[in-house]
Structure 1
Amino acid sequence: MKSVPKLIRRFVGIMLLSSVLLIILNLALLVIYTLNQAPNSSPWMTAQKVADNLLQDGNEYVLTEDTEIELQNTNAWAIFIDNATMNVVWQTDTLPETVPMSYTVSDIASLTRGYIDGYPTFTGEAENGLVVLGYPKDSFWKHMWPSWDYNVIANLPKTVLSVLAINIALIFIIYVIANSKLLKSVKPIVSGIQALSANEEVHLREKGLLSELAVNINKTSDILQTQSRQLRKKETARANWIAGVSHDIRTPLSMVMGYAGQLENDLQLSEDTRKKATVIVRQSKRMRNLINDLNLASKLEYNMQPINSERQNLIAVIRQVVVDFINMNIDETYTIEWETDETLTACPVCIDKDLIKRAVSNLIQNSINHNEQGCHIFVRVISEDKVCTVVVADDGIGATDEQMEKLNNTPHYMVCDEKTTEQRHGLGLLIVKQIIFAHNGKMLIQHSEYGGFEVDLSLPMTM
């Protein structure tokens, strides 16, 4: 059952990908939010900038205009504490009244890391003192005691990764537990669908999250099984009908052939009457062959014809078929040439010898039947890529591309369709195709290199 693990892997992959994307998205949003919420993200740098741009003019201090505008834009205030007196010797106009004007060393230490009267303060070093920059009370939060144990900092990456791994494991466990019921319901559904494709009877338990789907699969199985049983009954009836008709026709046909043969050899009859008897005999033989072909095609169609496969040399089998035709003393207008490469002495295949001989005989006879003016027939065996191919070709009238397409793809006598009034041909080719398919081979009908008709029969080679 490969589909369920694949489904689980897909679910887990989606979960992990979603988690990673959510983490990245949250980090990006946090950075954007922080930047938007902190227009003055470097107050320490701003304090140092004020200290650098605070100029002494005699006994007074003057701040450059651009720096003063920057403080106004951030609602910040500033003072300058003299090193010698520890008093404020310069201040901005926006200085709150509650801010002290004199400081001790401890006050300086406190405001450096914390606040003055609730205002977050930041310091910048000047030549003769200290610049203190203050912001509105709710603008910054300051960490009053910025000291950490060294081991905590040193082990921070490992700690973060461990916490992350634990979180991922917990998310996975929660996800599996939450979806185990669904996965338990999916497995029989998948098994049922696979059984349907194999035409097996399916009865799933109609409970759980996918109960409605299970009900539909059960109904589908019942419909398919009913259709399969009806089809088997029809096939059996058709096969029995063909076998019965074939058997019933043979006896009267044998009598017709027997009496016609006597009339054909009766010297007391006129020449014209004897010729008519000859036609009756010839057409009766044709009817007998058609009945035999139809019966064989029916057996092959419904797997009623046993296939007695044995290891054979395909070259020897096909050569025997050619020799038998040559010995039949067929009309001189038909010649058969054996074109197999003399260096190819063996082509081992596992076949039913009689059926393969019947198939090749049908092809040779097909070339004779469809070329009344005569033709040359070429037979050869080719061995290539562990496949043995029998080629039967002629230089006769051939067939059009449209006819080739129909012969390769259109069903013949054994398949009914709406075009029942249209006469069908090619029962001999159908038997050939069925024999080759029964041997796991392939059949291809195409134009021959001699300008006529060609059929290629490919069979897997036995090693």
Structure 2
Amino acid sequence: MIRAFSILWFAVFVPIILLILPTGINPIQLLNEWFSADFHKQTYRVKFELVTNQLLELPQDQWQNKINSYAPHFGYPIELQKLDDYQYDPELHQALNNGDIEFLFGDPMALVQRVGNSNQVLYFALNESSELAVLNQAKGSLFLAIEDLHRFPQEEWQQRLETQVTHVPFRVKLKSYQALSSEAQAAIGDKSNEMVAFFGTSGLIELLAPVSEDIWLHVEDNLSSTTQMKHISAIIVAFFLIVSFALFMWVYPLWRDLKRLVATSNEFGNGVLSKRASTSKLSVISQLSESFNHMADNIEKLIAGQKDLTNSIAHDLRTPLYRLRFALEMMEDEETPDAQKQKYRNTAYSSIEDLDHLINQTLLLSRYNRVADINHFSHSCFAQELLTEVDYFKLEHTDLDTHFYCSPDLKDQQLFLDNKGLMRAVKNLLANASRFAETTITISFLIEDEHYKIWVEDDGKGIPSKHAEKIFEPFQQLDNDERNSDKGHGLGLAIVKQIMVLHKGQVSVRESDSNGALFELSWPVHALSPSNHEEM
């Protein structure tokens, strides 16, 4: 279970991590970067050309003034930067040397291009940086706070400021320029009269606003980066634990049911044929358990049937063997008259024929119990062959009035079937009917409800409905409880049943119009084709 859970865990969380974290292999970020680069390059290409042409018309020492004059007309920063500043990325540096417009996917996103053959790079920001966004949001509040301080004497500023920011989640202090960090002083630069934003040593954005000539209002997040990281880490860990618990609650029942199924299958394989899988219908493997139980039922029935078949064969073999042994002993006895010896010879020959017939019938049943062989199936006009067989039957049973009806649609139709097997089924039914018919036997071949059907009916005493299923089992005979081989061995109808199973059909029996028995062979019209049987 640990292996299955680990595989599922990695399969779920690795894609989530790749999609959430802003890494270089994040597919969403890569797609966003590619589409953004393509769109902005096409959009700003003309602007780059216009600005570049304006710059190239002036001496290089005037370029910065020109850019400064353009800056108020752009919503985001436009700057001149040094080409050497991009040497950290050799591929980007080479592209700039070639005069290409390059897209920078960062904070902020920007476009850059070398100005002519100079060492200057024109930088266009496409959105606000994080520092600029925070500064724009806080400008109004900082202005009001400074204005409020100017209403009081300078020595009261600190006390007033502490009163104002009591419930604000920021640390706000008044600092002299010398007390500021090096990062703060670098951010101020020559902007001594402007509000500025910069990333402090904690990795968070800090704000500076001039209150007087040497005093600055310093604003930073009241929560340290460590505390924030702890909160973020706690949220991430909680998310992972919740999802992991959900995965475990899904995997564990699956693993438990599979272990039960494995244990059940092992016991079944060791001979406990009554063992069955037990799983909830809500289980993921409920269908697998049902399939296993269905297979186990079939195997148990098959083994039970084979045992019954073996016992029945042994019983039917014993009688002719006993008669054969007795006949041979009597023929070897010198005191047995010659006339009696001839009778015993006839008994021996009869017993041998019974054994041969039983063996042949058993082999036939074994053959039709196997999976259908495509080599036994072919296209043939079965109606014509059925008519020929009925004619032979009439010649052999002249004492019976035999009728044959064939649907006009089937007289010349080619059917794909096991011709020899299906004809054997018909012969067995005719032989069975000839034993019980009083005067009349009727054979019909027709198509009905998208099924081919062959009816064999007689006017005998019929078969009780309670025995309608039993007679198709091997060695089951209604009128031969003493297992008299003169009346057969009870394999004929079992062979018929198996032949119909191979044709994806069935055999059934019911009462005929003349109160006798009507046997029906039925198989679907569209179920049999060469392609279907190749899959069997």
Whether TM-score is above 0.5 comes out as: no
TM-score of the pair, normalised by structure 2: 0.37
TM-score of the pair, normalised by structure 1: 0.42
